[in-house]
Structure 1
Amino acid sequence: MAKPAPIRLAGTIAVTALCAALASKAAAQDGSVVLNEQIQLGEVLSGQTLNVVDARQQVTVNNAAIGNRIVGGTEGQDLAFRNRQTGFAAAVAQTRLNMAGQGNGRTTIVTQARVNDTTVAANNARLALDSEQAAYGAARAASALDNPDAHHLNGIAMTSAAYSNSLHAGGRNTVVTGTVRQLATQATVAETYAPARYVPGPSQFHAEATTNNVQIAGTGSSGQRIAVTQDNQAWTSASSVSSLANAHQAATTASAAGNRATLYNAGGSQVVGIDQTSHGQVTSRARTFAYDYGDLRALADGVGNEATVGNADIWVEVDNRQINTGGVQVEADLRGHNGYDAYIGANATGNSVTGYACSDCSGVVRATNSQINQGAVSATATSTLTGNSRALITGTTATGNAASFYVTRPQ
């Protein structure tokens, strides 16, 4: 499969003629037709700053910056979906919370940045995809707590997520066919920073950066015949940092991927072609510190190219090609004084592919796999416990190319 070419802008007459030709062709067929073209030329900025003294109940923040977005679907009628999204400028989302006193309820912060975003579904119908997404601007998402002396009595959940191109498709009792192409040339960065004094409730601090992301899922009586092409040419970084004086149960996690394609099918044949190329460096860092703790965790993972193709039915056919020339660097750092259990892990992979079918239905997997990794892959974990602790569990894995094809029992 060829690499995706940059999307060329056509003149108004050419675009109108193209849409008219496609509409005329589709009119002769049964079903619905969506012809979408979106071009974002200016920066998209979304910011929230909260100054709170004492909160008797919850503090919940949702903050998103999206350059191009389309959402659609159909029920009981076939859908032909042609999508063209081009983002020439950055999508940036930033959230800052300054809690001067204490929060009695749970603190929840979700910050997202997406240059191009597509969601389409077909239930009890066929879905024909022809989608192209090109991101020439950066995606940046950042969440931060400004006051390290605050008390969050019912715990914290903080997530920063950045995607240059993202597509979700599928449905119930659907057959998904066609092509998906994604290209990104600028950085994709997610950062979470969380200092606090007292957090007796469960806490999660997460950063996720995926430059090109495709998720296609069919449930019920479904099937797939799809080709996915992803090209990442820039830096992908996820960084999550927490510093807590007293934490009962706190997990700090980071996940970064240059290209990620996840395809799941429930009840029919699945024929998938994957072509992933990642030239940019991928970095993932999870760092945490707690003076007193009960359960403390720092977990990070990073991958240049990742493909997962799974079918709960008989037939899976995978044609996979992955090339990673950018390095993958994953770091986890855990520091604690007095506490109980500490967990730390770092996993780094250049190229990864997984394909599986159902064992109870005499499943068959046919796979053609080509993986080339030219970038350095490293996974490091650093643990420092200066006082009394009960347990420390650590693990690191660095892999250039990983492939797994098997037949499994359905869940």
Structure 2
Amino acid sequence: MLPPMTGAATSQSTVGNDQTQSSAVSSSQTLNVVDTSDSTSGVTTSTANNLVTGSASGGLNVVSSQSLQADTTASTTLNVTTNAGASTTLNTAATGNTSDMTGVTGAAALTGTFAQTAGPVNVNATSQMNAGGVPNGSTQTGALSTGTQAFANSAGFTNQDSALNVSTTQTSTATTDAEDGVVLQWSPGTAAVSASAVSNNLTGAGTGAASQTINAVQTMSGGITQAGEYADFGNVQTAQSSASAVANNISTTNENGGLSLTDTQNNSAYVQAQSQVTAYDYGSAQASAYGVGNSVLAGDYGSPTTLDNTQTNSGDGVSASASFSSTGNIGYDAGASATAMGNAATGYACSSCGGVINVANSQTNSAGVEAASSLSVAPNRSVSGVATAVGNSATFYVSKPGG
């Protein structure tokens, strides 16, 4: 007779995953709106390979391989005749390979090896709003929010009161492009529009007594990483436009337990972010563009933060451009900000929590880095322009939260 099992035993779950997408994945929708009083919304997504794993009890080990060998596209079009309502929201996303691993309170160790490969294909997300008005009429929406995103490879890890130890390899030769366009005659509220493109993306978030150990390799060696936001307003109270393009991106944060990140990032492809805004009448308008070859963030509010970072950016360069122009009536506040970096690294720990940082950092940039900001306005209350270009940027600090 077998003895009864006790609560000391810890179960171990295993997942083996192998996914290959070799034919095109696409989604599209067109909304033709004449007049609505409430709201207008549209969500369009395309995903080639998707993996979701998690545990609330016991350990979990995952071995995953994902391969993208065909185009992945998503497209949204909104045509407005008179009124899109009190609010308009458009979200468009195209993703090649994506995996998410989650552990909550009750889970034991989360472990795994994740490999993602995107071949020489297109990962494109596009969104266009056409509300330019009609003769002797006005086309409007009370408030506007658009978000257009393109990811070739994306991996996310979230753990609460558990230990995470994973290795990831992300490789892309794809063209990753997010394009968002808006033509709007009138909005009395806030119009916030954005486009974001990342070839290889990794995020980690630990809460409670969680700890994280992550080994990551990211390589972008073909195609382009590109994001474009183009907004044309007639009369708008507040216009906010942003475009962000990053070839390789890692962002990890932890609340309490230790955080250890070892990463190698290599980019040899062109990166471009462009944000362009025009308006005839406006209260405030801001255009922002952010382009980076390799970006890493590691931050812990509890135990030590350990970061071993190696970044190499080469090839055709990194470009960010932001512009705002108005030839109409008197405006109030106008701004344009462009930031371009070859390599960017940030690490931090909490001084009031007894945290420390241990960093080994190596950054090499041989590519051109260009940032351009442009403003052209009629009589105005304030004008602010910023253009920042950096080859290698490293910031490491220990401070109080919020300080």
TM-score by length of 2: 0.93
Q: Secondary structure at the match of 1:101?
A: strand
Contact 1:179/1:226 (<8 A) preserved: yes
Deviations 1:249-302 (A, max 9, x none): 011110010000001111112221010000110000000000000011101111
Contact 1:160/1:207 (<8 A) preserved: yes
1:210 aligns with 2:198: yes
1:176 aligns with 2:167: no
Match for residue 325 of structure 1? 314
Q: Secondary structure at the match of 1:313?
A: coil
Contact 2:331/2:379 (<8 A) preserved: yes
Q: Secondary structure at the match of 2:302?
A: coil
Match for residue 224 of structure 1? 212
Match for residue 33 of structure 1? 14
Match for residue 281 of structure 2? 292
Structure 1 counterpart of 2:271, from 257, 274, 282: 282
Q: C-alpha distance in 1, partners of 2:236/2:150?
A: 27
Q: 1:202 to 1:120 in 2, by over 3 A?
A: same
Residues 345-360 of structure 1 mapped to structure 2, 5 A cutoff: 345-360=337-352
Match for residue 185 of structure 1? 173
Deviations 1:166-210 (A, max 9, x none): 111122112110201100011000000101111111111100000
Structure 2 counterpart of 1:129, from 87, 103, 112: 112
Q: C-alpha distance in 1, partners of 2:225/2:396?
A: 27
Contact 1:115/1:138 (<8 A) preserved: no
- Which residue identity is paired with 2:288? L
- Which residue identity is paired with 2:161? N
Q: C-alpha distance in 1, partners of 2:85/2:211?
A: 48
Match for residue 55 of structure 1? 36
Structure 2 counterpart of 1:401, from 379, 384, 392: 392
Residues 128-167 of structure 1 mapped to structure 2, 5 A cutoff: 128-136=111-119, 137-149=121-133, 151-167=139-155
Q: Secondary structure at the match of 1:216?
A: strand
Structure 1 counterpart of 2:250, from 251, 261, 268: 261
1:363 aligns with 2:355: yes
Deviates more, 1:343-352 or 1:29-38: 29-38
Structure 2 counterpart of 1:335, from 325, 331, 351: 325
Task: Give the Å deviation of 1:29.
Answer: 7.8
Deviates more, 1:97-106 or 1:296-305: 97-106
Q: Secondary structure at the match of 1:307?
A: strand
Contact 2:118/2:152 (<8 A) preserved: yes
Structure 1 counterpart of 2:240, from 251, 265, 290: 251
Contact 1:65/1:113 (<8 A) preserved: yes
Q: C-alpha distance in 2, partners of 1:409/1:76?
A: 34
Match for residue 22 of structure 1? none
Q: C-alpha distance in 1, partners of 2:324/2:355?
A: 43
Contact 1:66/1:91 (<8 A) preserved: yes
Q: C-alpha distance in 1, partners of 2:265/2:218?
A: 5
Task: Give the Å deviation of 1:152.
Answer: 2.7
Contact 1:358/1:409 (<8 A) preserved: yes
Q: Secondary structure at the match of 1:339?
A: coil
Contact 2:37/2:85 (<8 A) preserved: yes
Contact 2:10/2:59 (<8 A) preserved: no
Q: Percent identity?
A: 32
Q: Secondary structure at the match of 1:151?
A: coil
Q: C-alpha distance in 2, partners of 1:35/1:395?
A: 48
Match for residue 303 of structure 1? 292
**Unmatched tracts of structure 1, length 5 or more:** 1-27
Contact 1:287/1:333 (<8 A) preserved: yes
Match for residue 94 of structure 1? 75
Contact 1:93/1:111 (<8 A) preserved: yes
Q: Secondary structure at the match of 1:100?
A: strand
Contact 1:106/1:152 (<8 A) preserved: no
Q: C-alpha distance in 1, partners of 2:193/2:41?
A: 15
Q: C-alpha distance in 1, partners of 2:240/2:26?
A: 29
Contact 1:130/1:178 (<8 A) preserved: yes
Match for residue 11 of structure 1? none
Match for residue 379 of structure 1? 371
- Which residue identity is paired with 2:391? G
- Which residue identity is paired with 2:163? V
| 4+ residue segments displaced more than 3 Å | none
Task: Give the Å deviation of 1:388.
Answer: 2.0
Q: C-alpha distance in 2, partners of 1:129/1:154?
A: 47
Q: C-alpha distance in 2, partners of 1:152/1:32?
A: 53
Contact 1:127/1:170 (<8 A) preserved: no
Aligned length: 383
Contact 2:10/2:58 (<8 A) preserved: no
Cα RMSD (Å): 1.3
Q: Secondary structure at the match of 1:360?
A: helix
Match for residue 5 of structure 2? none
- Which residue identity is paired with 1:246? N
Q: C-alpha distance in 1, partners of 2:59/2:238?
A: 48
Q: Secondary structure at the match of 2:132?
A: coil
**Unmatched tracts of structure 2, length 5 or more:** 1-8
Task: Give the Å deviation of 1:73.
Answer: 1.2
- Which residue identity is paired with 1:89? A
Task: Give the Å deviation of 1:147.
Answer: 3.6
Q: C-alpha distance in 2, partners of 1:42/1:374?
A: 36
